[in-house]
Amino acid sequence: MENTFTSGLISLQEALNKMLSQTSPLTQAKTEWLPLTESAGRITASAVRSPVYVPPFDNSAMDGYAIRSAEYREDAVFTVAGKAFAGAPFNGEWPAGSCIRIMTGAPVPSGADAVIMQEEAEKTDAGVRFTVPVEKGQNIRLIGDDIRQGQEVLAAGVRLGVAELPLLASLGVEKVEVNRRLKVAVFSTGDELQPVGTPLEEGQIYDTNRFAVHLMLDQLGCEVLDLGIIRDDPAALRQAFQQADNYADLVISSGGVSVGEADYTKSMLDEIGQIGFWKLAIKPGKPFAFGKLNNAWFCGLPGNPVSAVLTFYQLVQPLIARLSSHTDWRLPPRLRARAASNFKKTPGRLDFQRAVFVHNAQGELEARTTGSQGSHVFSSYSLANGFVVLERERGDVAVGEWVDVEPFNALLKG
Ligand code: AMP
Ligand code: MG
C-alpha cells in the first residue's frame, strides 16, 4: 500500500527491473583468446570443455598393493613383482600370483583391478598375504570419474577467478575465450570537490565518489575512462557528457541529480538523453538517474558518498553484470540474524544499515550497527561486513529482534 511516506518513490526492485528490462549484453560481440594468467576477472565468452580425462588414468587411491582380484584367496601369499609410484609407473611383466607395491596416485599397472591398502596386508618371508576379502575395483580411481574428455566444465558468462582458473589449469587449458571488457566513463560533479593532493579552501571537500566508483569498476574488470571533477557549469558538463558518451558503453556520474539549485546535471541530461530521475525508496541513496545518452547507458549516482556506493552496489553492479554478459552474477544470499544493538529506522524506505555480524557464543548470527548511518558517514562502511536490510514498513528495531542481513561481496570487502 502506498502511503504518505512512499508516494512518488520507486522501490529498489522496480528500479532494477526497469534497468534490466531495457538493457541487453554488449560485450559478447567481440571476444578474444587469452592465456589463463591474463584472464583473471574476465567473463567467459563460450563454454569451456575439458581437453582431457580427470583423472587421466586409473590410479591408486591408497598406499598398498595392486593385484588381479580373481587371484585373491584368503590364504594366498603374493610375491612383490615391482613398484609403482606417482610419476613412475610400473610397466614390466608381472607373473600370475604376484602383486605390485603401489603408492597413492600411481598408475594402476595393466591387468590389476584392485588395490589393497597396506594396513590390510601382512608381510611374510615369501611375500604378502591380505587379511580382508578383496573386491574387484576397490581403491582404484578410474580414468574420467571426475571429468570426462569433452565435458563442459565452465559455462559462458562466468567470471574467471580463484574458483575457476585453477580448474582450467588442472585440465591443461592454455587459453580461454573471453568477452571484451565493458568501457565505463566516470566523473564527479560539484564546485565544492577537490582531488586528493590539493589543499582544501573554505567550503571544499575531497572527491570520494570518483575514487570509490573507479575502484569498484576496476574490480569488476571494466575499462575505465576517468574524466575527473566537472564543475557545476553547463558548458563543462555538456563537454564531459559528450566525451564520455563517445567513449563508453556506460557513463557514471555522481552528484547533481537531486533538485538543488546548482544541479545542472539534470537539465543537461534532459537536453542530451532520455533519462529517468528517480526517487528510490531506499535509504541511503534516494536520488538516482538512469537512462540512455546518444550512445551509452547512463547512471547518475547521488552525491553523498555512502548513497553513491550503495546505489552502485545495488543497482549499477547488476547492470554492469548484464551489460558485460556476466550471467552467473548474484549478490550473496540474505541471512537472518538477531539484532545485537538497536537500529533506528523510520518507516517508508528500505534501509540498508552498515553493520557487523558475527556468530555469538551460542552459535547464533548476530548483527550490530557500526554507528552513525548518515549518508555522508563513510567510516561506518569500513567497520562493517554487510548490510542489515530493514523492510520499508518497519520502524525502530530493538535488541533481540530478527533482521535480514546481506553480507558484502568482494567488491566492498575483498
Ligand atoms: P549533490 O547531489 O550534488 O547536491 O550532492 C549531495 C551531497 O554530496 C553534497 O553534500 C555534496 O557536497 C556531496 N558530494 C557530491 N559529490 C561528492 C563527491 N564526489 N565526493 C564527496 N561528496 C560529494
Ligand atoms: Mg552537487
Do 311 and 269 share a structural domain? yes
Do 38 and 175 share a structural domain? yes
* pLDDT grade for 1, boundaries at 50, 70 and 90: very low
Do 388 and 314 share a structural domain? no
Render 265-308 in DSSP notation, one character per residue. Answer: HHHHHHHHSEEEEEEBSEES--EEEEEE-SSSEEEEE-SSHHHH
User: Does the CB atom of residue 285 touch ligand 1 within 6 A?
Assistant: no
The residue with cell 567488491 is 411
> What does pTM read for this prediction?
0.89
Do 37 and 25 share a structural domain? no
User: Does the CB atom of residue 300 touch ligand 1 within 6 A?
Assistant: no
- Residue at 300 is within a domain: yes
Grid coordinates representing 131? 587379511
The residue with cell 587421466 is 56
What is the average pLDDT score of the chain?
A: 94
User: Does the CB atom of residue 59 touch ligand 1 within 6 A?
Assistant: no
- Confidence (pLDDT) at 5: 45
Do 314 and 191 share a structural domain? yes
- Residue at 4 is within a domain: no
Task: Please give the Cα distance from 380 to 372 (Å, whole number).
Answer: 7
Ligand 1 atom at minimal distance to the Cα of residue 208: 20
Mean of pLDDT values over 166-187: 97
Say if residue 49 is exposed, middle or buried (CB neighbours under 10 Å; 0-12, 13-18, 19+): middle
Do 262 and 194 share a structural domain? yes
Do 272 and 220 share a structural domain? yes
Do 168 and 88 share a structural domain? no
Residues 6+ apart with CB under 8 A from 267: 234
Do 356 and 283 share a structural domain? no
Q: What is the pLDDT of residues 350-374, one digit of tens each?
A: 999 999 999 999 999 999 999 888 8
User: Does the CB atom of residue 31 touch ligand 1 within 6 A?
Assistant: no
* pLDDT grade for 2, boundaries at 50, 70 and 90: very low
CA of 282 to the centre of ligand 2 (A): 20
Mean of pLDDT values over 31-53: 97
CA of 13 to the centre of ligand 2 (A): 26
Range(s) of the domain holding residue 116: 59-141
Would the pLDDT of 4 be above 50? no
- Residue at 414 is within a domain: no
Domain end (from 299, 323, 347): 323
| pLDDT above 90 coverage of the chain, percent | 87
Q: Which residues pair with 279 in a beta bridge?
A: 287
CATH number of the CATH domain containing 215: 3.40.980.10
CA of 209 to the centre of ligand 1 (A): 8
- Residue at 64 is within a domain: yes
- Measured CA angle at 63 (ends 62, 64), to 5 deg: 105
Do 316 and 205 share a structural domain? yes
Name which residue leads in pLDDT, 146 or 374. Answer: 146
**Which residue's CA is the closest to the ligand 1 atom numbered 23?**
303
Do 314 and 247 share a structural domain? yes
Which of 187, 189, 192 is the best mutation target for the ligand 1 pocket, counting ligand atoms within 8 Å of the beta carbon and taking the most?
192
Do 382 and 398 share a structural domain? yes
User: For the chain, how many structural domains are there in total?
Assistant: 4
Q: What is the pLDDT of residues 247-273, one digit of tens each?
A: 999 999 999 887 766 677 777 888 888
User: Does the CB atom of residue 303 touch ligand 1 within 6 A?
Assistant: yes
